[in-house]
Amino acid sequence: MPSTSSGAVLVERRGAVTILSINDAPYNRMSLEFMDELERLVESLTSDETVRAVVITGDGDRNFSVGMNLKQLPQGIKEKGSADALFDQRLKVLSAIENMGKPWVATLFGYCLGGGLELPLACHFRLAADDGAEIGLPEMDLGTVPAWGGSARLVRCVGRDHALDMILRAKKISGPEALRIGLVQEVWPSAELKAKAIALGEELASMPRHAVKAMLGCLVGAETKTLEQSLRDERDAVHATQNTPDQVEGIMAFLEKRKPAFNQS
């Protein structure tokens, strides 16, 4: 996968899709440098209107990520001023991904542990390898707990019982098991996984961008909203997409029995 950066994050652009790869093969640890670079990239991707979808993966074919480089923990606390400040940066970045208004697709293969699952949990789509994946929040094995929002997002994703089972038992699950409990939307052979994720990113990027942003605003966090609030959010989304060029194009394409060509203006 050719890339345009040699730092902690490899960056590739394919049309309206940006592909980010954690650049620390084979384990793809989420170093301090990685998180700082990801924070800058998230900010620039948010403001770049030509980017309509993002794929996040790990360099190489062995692991998505083993999570934070624990050897850097003392350094990170010193640089940020406290452990809370260090973790707050990660919470901020993951929240920005979740609320960007552009769909993110994560690939889960090999080790996807700790931060290597917490980051995908902030993404909107997760695709897993059908073999070899070990997915989990194993912080209990280290005598501690998830710190990047893992427990909060996992329980919203798979429900309390599955979250309890995974976290309290430091359990690592496979791609097919992740699909069964609703942690991922699709499972593919390892050799096809990244290509399938990019294809999904391209599919999402082809959708009407204003409608995608409006619907992400409705659906992200919807499980904690009242029905009345969700209905208000949906009506706001209707208003936000009324009379846009994409809505006009969609209706004309339907009437003319052709495929719509969105995002032309």
**Band of pLDDT at residue 9, cut at 50, 70 and 90:** very high
pLDDT digits (tens, 9 = 90+) for 153-199: 999 999 999 999 999 999 999 999 999 999 999 999 999 999 999 99
**Band of pLDDT at residue 5, cut at 50, 70 and 90:** low
The verdict on 51 and 167 lying in the same domain is: yes
**What pLDDT is recorded for position 6?**
59
118 labelled catalytic = yes
The verdict on 125 and 35 lying in the same domain is: yes
* Percent of the chain surpassing pLDDT 90: 97
Q: What is the CATH number of the domain that holds 109?
A: 3.90.226.10
What is the pLDDT of the chain when averaged over all its residues? 96
How many domains does the chain divide into?
2
Q: Tokens at residue 231, please?
A: 């209905």
Tell me how crowded residue 111 is: count the other CB atoms within 10 A of its CB: 25
| Nearby residues of 49 by Cβ (< 8 Å), 6 or more positions away | none
pLDDT digits (tens, 9 = 90+) for 28-86: 999 999 999 999 999 999 999 999 999 999 999 999 999 999 999 999 999 999 999 99
**Active-site choice (37, 98, 134, 139):** 139
**Band of pLDDT at residue 19, cut at 50, 70 and 90:** very high
- Three-state SS string across the chain, please? CCCCCCCCEEEEEECCEEEEEECCCCCCCECHHHHHHHHHHHHHHHHCCCCCEEEEEECCCCCCECCECHHHHHHHHHHHCCHHHHHHHHHHHHHHHHCCCCCEEEEECCEEECHHHHHHHHCCEEEEECCCCEEECCHHHHCCCCCCCHHHHHHHHHCHHHHHHHHHCCCCECHHHHHHHCCCCEEECHHHHHHHHHHHHHHHHCCCHHHHHHHHHHHCCHHHCCHHHHHHHHHHHHHHHCCCHHHHHHHHHHHCCCCCCCCCC
The verdict on 44 and 140 lying in the same domain is: yes
Classify residue 4: in a domain, yes or no: no
**Active-site choice (98, 118, 134, 177):** 118
Tell me how crowded residue 250 is: count the other CB atoms within 10 A of its CB: 17
Give me the domain span that covers residue 171. Answer: 9-205
| Nearby residues of 127 by Cβ (< 8 Å), 6 or more positions away | 105, 106, 107, 108, 184, 185, 186, 187, 188, 193, 196, 197, 200
Measured distance CA(139)–CA(177) in Å, rounded: 20
The verdict on 137 and 230 lying in the same domain is: no
Is there a contact between 240 and 210 (Cβ–Cβ < 8 Å)?
yes
98 labelled catalytic = no
The verdict on 117 and 217 lying in the same domain is: no
Q: Is the pLDDT of residue 2 over 60?
A: no
Classify residue 241: in a domain, yes or no: yes
Classify residue 1: in a domain, yes or no: no
Q: What are phi and psi of 51, to 5 degrees?
A: -95, 125
The verdict on 194 and 243 lying in the same domain is: no
pLDDT digits (tens, 9 = 90+) for 31-44: 999 999 999 999 99
**What pLDDT is recorded for position 264?**
84
pLDDT digits (tens, 9 = 90+) for 92-133: 999 999 999 999 999 999 999 999 999 999 999 999 999 999
The verdict on 35 and 157 lying in the same domain is: yes
